[in-house]
Every structure is written in C-alpha cells, then in structure tokens.
C-alpha cells in the first residue's frame, strides 16, 4: 500500500461519481436501473462549437497557450460579464482554467493557509469542503434548511463568520438543490459581508443560464458593487453549453488574485486545452438560440419530478429555480420500513433501498452535508425521468 499525503487523507472521494459508477455497474449486469446521479446534461455540444474546435485543430492551434487563457477567450469572457451581468472587467482580471472545478481549486490554493476558514452553505456542492481541506484550511458550514428553500439566510451567514474566515462560497443556482438567490436575497447577504471587509467572496455561477419560470439571474458583484473588489465571479461552459468533457471554466476578480491563480497554474496544469479554448470562444460569442428549447425540456422534467415528490409520502422539496437538480428532504421516511422490509434509519438506507427496490440511483444528502435527503438529477431523457418519478412514488407509497 502507498501511504497518501496528510492533505489527501483529509479528503473524501466524490459521492456523485461513486453513485454514477454503481448505476453503470448494475446496468452492465443487465439490471434495469435508472441513474439520476450524474451532473451533466444529456444534450450534445452544439455543432457550431464543435466546428470551431475542428477549425482550431486544422489551423494548428494545437500548441501551448498563455497559461491562464488565450486573449480571444479572455475578451469573450469580458464581453460576457458586461453583457449578461453588467460587470466590467479587464482581461487581466480573468482566469481560464481546465474546468470550473480547477478555477475554484486554484483560487483556494492561491490564498488559503492552515487555520484559515471557508464558510460553505449546506447543502453544498460536494467538492467545496474537500478542496478547502486539500489546501490545509477548514470548512465551516452554514445551514440553509428546506424550510428556507435551501437558501442561506443572513443570520446563519453571520454565525459562521469569524476572524479566521478567508472566503465565503455562494452557489446559485445551486448544486445540489437548484435554489437560486434573488436580488433581495443577495442584498441581505451583502449587508452582512459588508461588515467583514477582509473576507473574499467566491460566487459559483456555473448554472447561470439554466433558470426557469422567468427567474432573473443576478450575481453578488452586480447587486453589491462595493463588494466587487473582493469577489471572484466564477462560471464555465460545462453545463449550459453541454461541454463537460471539454474542460473550460473561468472567473473574473481582483487582478492580484487572478495573478496568484495563474502562478499556481504555471507550476501545475499549465494552460487549458488550446482546442477547447477556441471552442469556448465560439460558445460565448456564438448564438445562444439552442438554450431556450433545452431549458424548456429541463423545466418540464423538473415539473415531472416535483409532481412525483408532491405525491410521495415522506418527501418534501422546494421548487428549484434552476440547474437540473431537485433535492428532496426525506425526514418523513426515516423510521419507516420499505416495501421489501428494510428499516430506513438514514438517507443512505433510503438510497440503498431506492436502488434495490425501485431501481433508481440518486445521491444521498449526507454527501452534500444535508441529511436526511437525496439529490435527483433530471439531466436524463424525458422518458427515463417520467419512469423514475413513477418508481419513486411507488417506493414511497409502499413504505410503512
């Protein structure tokens, strides 16, 4: 056995990847399982983006690039922030990394020391606390309960802040809950953050374009311009453009922070894939017409899942504003016995029974720091979402 580093020993493997693999393994054995664990759209990357990548290959754009992004992509990102978010940045304030995940890791690696704290609202995206731990710092959790629509409230934020807080993480729309902050939600959080001038703010806006029912997406630097100087506004092409495999994420923020993140990259990954960067230029600058029909599909699937939850005894969930997840609180199932006689003591029990009896794979809330519950990803075909929803209702109705 190879002894791992102290830093790595503090880190848990990704539960969402584990569930996806489990569903894949069962399917390979011929078992009819519906995987609702994956965090990626079932749609393909639009053709005009693929064409730009092919053109990049043909024209020899296949060499090292500037470490934190080609000027053309940085300019496209500057234009995107101006147009979508009314935020002004210079290219020197922009970082491009090999995915949204590395953007966040580079920011943490560039700034965190042992003893530093990072405030993370629960339920959280699985990677935030693990990245903080990998950097030797300490995650501090601030609860956003189902009663609050899984949105962090100012008093919970205030209670989690200390003189050791280095970052506060916001994620809207959220993975795993789909909850998104309105302008007034963000104004209330900004009122607290204003009183802690040394705290940096990371806003993960990865699901910005995936919002439904005319929800108006806003981001904190736009709502509270006085926090602009200490906010890292992060985003990427993975989800909205169905480009998870291309590995391009980006962020804009204070120039000194961007420079420090570039330094981390210069000695680790170097530049993101040159071809993917040109594809991302086409994604950001090109037509967004494909988004509306895709979002209409996502919204319809969300509604199917929400109807199922509404008719499933023991489950409750607020209507998510965006992303492609529903997070169901399953406190009402705990203590019950499943149709096949399994006593459900935790959300892990519920998720195991859902696989064994309903043949659907979802990710337990424990993985997101929010038990008991589970995350349903509806980024799969309409038919499978419908079928899975019926199985979920039948499972819950059979519990006594």
Positions in the binding site for ligand PLP (CB under 6 A): 39, 99-101, 125, 171, 175, 204, 206, 236, 238, 244, 249
User: Which residue, 99 or 318, has its beta carbon nearer to ligand PLP?
Assistant: 99
CB nearer ligand PLP, residue 205 or residue 349? 205
**Residues 6+ positions from 95 with CB-CB distance below 8 Å:** 68, 69, 103, 106, 250, 251, 252, 253, 258, 261, 262, 265
138/175 with CB nearer ligand PLP: 175
Q: What is the DSSP letter of 173?
A: S
Q: How far is the CB of 173 from ligand PLP (least distance, A)?
A: 8
Task: Name the minimum Å distance from CB 340 to ligand PLP.
Answer: 32
- The nearer residue to ligand PLP, 100 or 372, going by C-beta atoms, is 100
Query: Beta strands 200-204 and 138-143: pairing type?
Result: unpaired
* Residue 259 exposed, middle or buried by CB count within 10 Å (0-12, 13-18, 19+): middle
Check: CB of residue 374 under 8 Å from CB of residue 176. no
Q: CB nearer to ligand PLP: give 17 or 331.
A: 17
Q: How far is the CB of 101 from ligand PLP (least distance, A)?
A: 3
Say if CB 152 and CB 124 are below 8 A apart.
no
**CB 50 → ligand PLP: shortest distance, Å?**
18
Which 8-state DSSP code applies to residue 248? -
**Nearest distance from C-beta of residue 299 to ligand PLP, angstroms:** 18
- Give me the torsion for CA of 249, 114, 130, 67, rounded to 10°: 20
CB of 267 to ligand PLP, least distance (A): 20
Task: Answer yes or no: are the C-beta atoms of 138 and 129 closer than 8 Å.
Answer: no
Residues 316, 295: Cα–Cα separation, whole Å: 24
Question: What is the 8-class DSSP label of residue 225?
Answer: G
What single string gives the DSSP state of each residue in 9-40? HT-PPPHHHHHHHHHHHHHHTT---EE----S
81 versus 325: smaller Cβ distance to ligand PLP? 325
Q: Tell me the closest approach of the beta carbon of residue 353 to ligand PLP, in angstroms.
A: 26
**Cβ proximity to ligand PLP, 208 vs 357, nearer residue:** 208
* Residue 326 vs residues 160, 174, 274, 306: alpha-carbon distances, Å: 26, 10, 35, 8
- Minimum gap (Å) between residue 125 Cβ and ligand PLP: 4
Measured from the CB atom, the residue of 323 and 393 that comes closer to ligand PLP is 323
Q: Which is nearer to ligand PLP, 93 or 174 (CB)?
A: 174
Q: How far apart (Å, rounded) are the C-alpha atoms in residues 175 and 385?
A: 18
Smallest gap, in angstroms, from Cβ of residue 164 to ligand PLP? 24
């Amino acid at each position: 056995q190879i002894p791992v580093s102290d830093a790595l020993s503090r880190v848990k493997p990704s539960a969402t990847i584990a569930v996806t693999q489990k569903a894949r393994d069962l399917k390979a054995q011929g078992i009819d399982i519906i995987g609702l664990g994956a965090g990626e759209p079932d749609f393909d990357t639009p053709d005009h983006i693929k064409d730009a990548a092919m053109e990049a290959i043909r024209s020899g754009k296949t060499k090292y690039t500037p470490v934190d992004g080609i000027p053309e992509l940085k300019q496209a990102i500057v234009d995107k922030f101006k147009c979508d978010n009314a935020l002004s940045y210079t290219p020197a304030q922009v970082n491009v990394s090999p995915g949204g995940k590395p953007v966040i890791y580079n920011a943490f690696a560039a700034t965190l020391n042992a003893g530093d704290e990072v405030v993370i609202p629960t339920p959280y995206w699985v990677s935030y606390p693990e990245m903080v731990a990998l950097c030797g710092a300490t995650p501090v959790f601030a609860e956003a309960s189902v009663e609050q629509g899984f949105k962090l409230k100012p008093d919970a934020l205030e209670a989690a802040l200390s003189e050791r807080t280095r970052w506060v993480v916001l994620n809207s729309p959220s993975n795993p809950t789909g909850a998104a902050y309105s302008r007034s939600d963000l104004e209330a959080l900004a009122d607290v953050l204003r009183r802690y001038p040394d705290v940096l703010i990371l806003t993960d806006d990865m699901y910005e374009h995936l919002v439904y029912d005319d929800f108006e997406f806003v981001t904190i630097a736009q709502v509270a311009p006085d926090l602009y100087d200490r906010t890292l506004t992060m985003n990427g092409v993975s989800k909205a453009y169905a480009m998870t495999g291309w590995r391009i994420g980006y962020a804009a923020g204070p120039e000194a922070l961007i420079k420090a993140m570039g330094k981390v990259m210069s000695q680790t990954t170097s530049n993101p894939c040159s071809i993917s960067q040109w594809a991302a230029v086409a994604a950001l600058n090109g037509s967004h017409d494909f988004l509306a029909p895709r979002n209409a599909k996502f919204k319809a699937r969300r509604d199917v899942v929400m109807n199922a939850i509404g008719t499933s005894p023991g489950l409750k969930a607020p209507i998510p504003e965006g992303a492609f997840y529903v997070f169901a609180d399953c406190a009402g199932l705990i203590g019950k016995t499943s149709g096949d006689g399994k006593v459900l003591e935790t959300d892990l029990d519920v998720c195991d029974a859902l696989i064994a009896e309903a043949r659907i794979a979802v990710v337990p809330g424990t993985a997101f720091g929010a038990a008991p519950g589970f995350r349903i990803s509806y980024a799969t075909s309409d038919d499978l979402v419908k079928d899975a929803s019926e199985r979920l209702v039948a499972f819950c109705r059979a519990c006594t």
